[in-house]
Amino acid sequence: MTEIYFIRHAESDNSVYDDYSRPLTEKGMRDRILVTKFLNSKRIDAVFSSPYKRAIDTVKDFAGKNHLKIQFIDEFKERHVGRWVDNFTDFSKKQWNDFHYKLNEGESLQEVQSRNINALKRILTDYEGKNIVIGTHGTALSTIINYYDSSFGYNEFNNIIKLMPWIVRFTFDGKFCKEIEKINVFVY
């Protein structure tokens, strides 16, 4: 069995619009310790992350304390919206109702899902039987869950929108997803 622990980043500073450099807030920096505590007993073999600072910083404490190098995978970055969206709720509903909907120069949820699943399948091949951590983002992670469980849609996405950090454990037998467990580290 392969265990993949997707870690949705801790609270980030939304006053910084640049996706690559958006940092965690002070609360986010404190909350990432919850991720470290949860993962410490999981015998993690490798740590991957989106190249975005908020995702990296969320798994950095765990990786450092366990002497694991963070490997960056561009495909695990968050959805590129195309421009700043003032009404994120309406935009998200449109995207979840039509997986091909996108703004000019942005990405559809179908595109996000495809690149994330392709990267995940490479990891499942290269790290079969291992325990893996992947630092990621809310929308990207939600499209991965939706790929394996089509009942996960806008309402489920909306329920986790403020849950940061958030962990989702996938158990795979080869490339077959046997189980998805959603973990709220604030009550764990």
Is 54 annotated to bind a ligand? Reply is: yes
Say if 104 falls within a structural domain: yes
> What residues are labeled active site?
9, 78
Tens digit of pLDDT at every position of the chain (188 positions)? 999 999 999 999 988 888 899 999 999 999 999 999 999 999 999 999 999 999 999 999 999 999 999 999 999 999 988 877 788 899 999 999 999 999 988 999 999 999 999 999 999 999 999 999 999 999 999 999 999 999 999 999 999 999 999 999 999 999 999 999 999 998 86
The pTM is what? 0.95
CATH of the domain at 72: 3.40.50.1240
| Domain total in the chain | 1
Say if 133 falls within a structural domain: yes
42/185 Cα distance (integer angstroms): 14
167/4 Cα distance (integer angstroms): 10
pLDDT of residue 173: 97
What does DSSP say about strands 46-49 and 166-173: parallel, antiparallel, or unpaired? Answer: unpaired
Say if 188 falls within a structural domain: no
DSSP reduced 3-state for 28: helix
Say if 84 falls within a structural domain: yes
185/165 Cα distance (integer angstroms): 7
How many residues are recorded in the chain?
Answer: 188
94/16 Cα distance (integer angstroms): 25
* Angle, CA of 130, 178 and 145, to the nearest 5°: 90
Domain assignment of residue 13, given as a range: 2-183
Say if 11 falls within a structural domain: yes
